[in-house]
Structure 1
Amino acid sequence: MSFADRLGIGAASSEAFVERALGELRSGRPVLLQSGDEEVLVLGAEALDAEAAEALAALDGGGGPARLVLPAPRLTRLGAPRAVAGSVALPAFDAARVEQLALGLDARIDAPVANAGPADLAALDLLALALVLPAAIVIPIRRDEVPGAVAVTAEEVARFRKAQAAGLRIVGRARVPLEGARECEFVVFRGGEGLRDQVAVIVGQPDTARPVAVRLHSACLTGDLFGSLKCDCGDQLRDTVARMAAEDGGILLYLDQEGRGNGIANKIRAYDLQAQGFDTYDADAALGFGLDQRRFEFAAEMLRQLGVTAVRLHTNNPQKVEALKRSGLDVVAEQRVLGRPTLENVRYLAAKRDRAGHAIDFEQLAARAPD
């Protein structure tokens, strides 16, 4: 076997093709997607400006009309309720109209909605992986019309998440003393969800021969770093680490899942909608998202690589419990993790309890309220 073959030079893996496509979409450029016999050009709707519209209009268009693919929650917001994603024909690349259909609060569908096909669903999956707005411009096209375009298949997209979880590996580790928890080790994994690395914070010296205290903590820039009053994430992060340090140690997994897996840009868009009266889940739905886009199975693989097979899970979220159980870990106990209630986060906490089944006791919360 040659040197190039050993290193995979010139023969990129399926994951590499998808990663290249994600980079293109995040940069506002289209990618070529093949699904069965259909080839389409995919562009995120948020990238359609006047220049892009002019370029797309210059294409031959012999493969059929272009369409805007939207997920079910967004179509419901537009007055066309349905259980699955659908598409609306785009007879012209009108950037203002596309923006209204993708983001407008008062917009309504003024055209028939077709069922989303396999290429459409794969396009939405790509946008979800790229953490951009879930609204895809899909244009049937011949490959020779877009020479040099990054190409990917629907099958490669479908396999990507599983491959990322299976390929998780430790790429760095070091002791990092924290305030209130001086004995900590940070272990960095590559793979999993999101677009960055994942971090396991080992607090103290947990005994992996026994059930280990564990928290799955999704990254929250606004709460964890800046102390946002709109959520309880920062409190949950710091209180859990302090509790582990005071007891028998534990492991906190800091996961790249900002905004329930929607990405920081969409999270801030949702915050703006919340300021207009939406609750946290209705705001996400108005943008086209379901209740929660996160997956936690890869977190179980991180724990297994750290020697953990049984956990005492610090969480209020039943989805995390079920995900670890499905992945083969033994969840022997649950420990609630409460932050401080504020005027700004009470509605958010109530929505998590009432709409997503989080175990949040408001009497206990009231006892934590600042004087």
Structure 2
Amino acid sequence: MPESPTLFGRPGETLRVVVERAIAEFRAGRPVLLQDGENLALALSAELADSELVRRLDTLAAGNGHLVLTPARLRRLGARERVEPGIFALPAIDLDRIAYLAFRLDSRMDAPVAPASALDGAALELARLSLVLPAVLVVPVGAAAVAGESLVAADIAAVNAYRAVQAASLRIVGRAPVPLEGAPDTEFVVFRGGEGLRDQVAIIVGKPDFSAAVPVRLHSACLTGDLFGSLKCDCGDQLRETVQWMAAHEGGVLLYLDQEGRGNGISNKMRAYKLQSQGWDTYDADEVLGFDLDQRHFDFAATMLKQLGVSRVVALTNNPQKIGAIEAAGLEVAASQRVLGRPNAHNVRYLASKRDRAGHLIDMDALMARAAPKD
């Protein structure tokens, strides 16, 4: 039987709106009421918790509050084989205790870790969608305890399904020719959706033959490298050289995806950069913050390509994960091609880490030879 539309859309659309409101509340540092059947709990970003709100939540929790942490953060605390999130009981909700477990560099496991529930997992997903640090204060409650409160309530199934819903609802909202230096025949196509409440851009360079294998690069936004020419990464080089290569080789499609900092967001990227300046490896820095090797999703990128009429691609990437994501989404990868940046004293360790720890197909000898002064 078809769904009955409501004043604000069909039920599935309404659930998406609820999650978007929950994301806004969570990012603002206000608790969100999560529902799993009859089970209810308030979820609050540990990063954004303030003393007055914690005091009120402690009263409401009656000793039953807990802190949810990712497996990456738990590994940093000492649970080296951890692959699932876990929780620490908080008989008294204390900001210092939360900070020690969730954020401190010198912290170590000092209490038992209990398994996370489905509700706890959804709380972490809400934190990821909100681009805050992935540590969540959770307080189980009864319906009577929060009756009359102005809380946004979201079902955990809707939270967990949100990314897939966003990918399926991608649509083109604008397109126009934008001549670029070295690539004057270029069109920008803007899509609404994909990740959170953000827009994504497809840059069509030249006149690619969409009936053949189209050169494609999935490029995650990098404010520091793409715009400011940061020496800490090779992103800006890869972006500009890809566009120039496409312009010289009958065209292609570059997807500019709003997934800053491997999907962690610009604020968390800067936190990781701070740790890197103190000597941490790029992936170790992310683990300290609670993030795994890569938080990005590429299913929506494949949806963008399909809407443009692309079915076969030549993947311009060093990252096997991107190739696998394109194939998993039903597109054929006819071939792949490496995209080289320029190594320097500031990024050579970063490039080696991507090769050694994340499996990127980077030939460091070729990179160093490229950087060597020419006679």
Same-fold status (TM-score > 0.5): yes
Q: Distance in 1 between matches of 2:64 and 2:143?
A: 16
How far residue 308 of structure 1 moved from its aligned partner, in angstroms, is 0.4
Q: 1:218 to 1:104 in 2, by over 3 A?
A: same
SS in 1 for 2:261: helix
SS in 1 for 2:262: helix
Counterpart for residue 312 of structure 2 = 310
How far residue 135 of structure 1 moved from its aligned partner, in angstroms, is 0.3
How far residue 56 of structure 1 moved from its aligned partner, in angstroms, is 1.6
Counterpart for residue 193 of structure 1 = 195
Counterpart for residue 230 of structure 2 = 228
SS in 2 for 1:127: helix
Q: Does 1:291 align with 2:290?
A: no
SS in 2 for 1:199: strand
Show the 5 A alignment for 1:131-142.
131-142=131-142
Q: Does 1:39 align with 2:40?
A: yes
Aligned residues: 366
Q: Percent identity?
A: 61
Q: 1:139 corresponds to which letter in structure 2?
A: V
Superposition CA RMSD, Å: 1.7
Q: Distance in 2 between matches of 1:44 and 1:300?
A: 31
Contact kept? 1:186, 1:199, Cα under 8 Å: yes
Counterpart for residue 353 of structure 2 = 351
Contact kept? 2:58, 2:65, Cα under 8 Å: no
Q: 1:113 corresponds to which letter in structure 2?
A: V
How far residue 109 of structure 1 moved from its aligned partner, in angstroms, is 2.6
Q: Distance in 2 between matches of 1:283 and 1:193?
A: 23
Q: Does 1:242 align with 2:241?
A: no
Counterpart for residue 71 of structure 2 = 72
Q: Distance in 1 between matches of 2:297 and 2:277?
A: 28
How far residue 162 of structure 1 moved from its aligned partner, in angstroms, is 0.9
SS in 2 for 1:193: coil
Q: Distance in 1 between matches of 2:364 and 2:113?
A: 43
Deviation digits for residues 161-187 of structure 1 (CA, Å, limit 9, x no counterpart): 111111010011111111111111110
Q: 2:204 corresponds to which letter in structure 1?
A: I
Q: Distance in 2 between matches of 1:11 and 1:228?
A: 42
SS in 2 for 1:54: helix
Q: 2:71 corresponds to which letter in structure 1?
A: A
SS in 1 for 2:230: coil
Q: 1:145 to 1:12 in 2, by over 3 A?
A: farther
Contact kept? 2:166, 2:195, Cα under 8 Å: yes
Gaps of 5+ in 2: none
Contact kept? 2:213, 2:313, Cα under 8 Å: yes
Counterpart for residue 216 of structure 2 = 214
Q: Does 1:177 align with 2:179?
A: yes
Counterpart for residue 123 of structure 2 = 123
Contact kept? 2:8, 2:14, Cα under 8 Å: no
Counterpart for residue 29 of structure 2 = 28
Q: 1:51 to 1:255 in 2, by over 3 A?
A: same
Deviation digits for residues 148-172 of structure 1 (CA, Å, limit 9, x no counterpart): 1000011101211111111010011
Gaps of 5+ in 1: none
Structure 1-normalised TM-score? 0.95
Q: Distance in 1 between matches of 2:234 and 2:108?
A: 35
Q: Does 1:85 align with 2:85?
A: yes
Contact kept? 1:194, 1:257, Cα under 8 Å: no
SS in 2 for 1:343: coil
Q: Distance in 1 between matches of 2:56 and 2:230?
A: 41
Q: 1:159 to 1:235 in 2, by over 3 A?
A: same
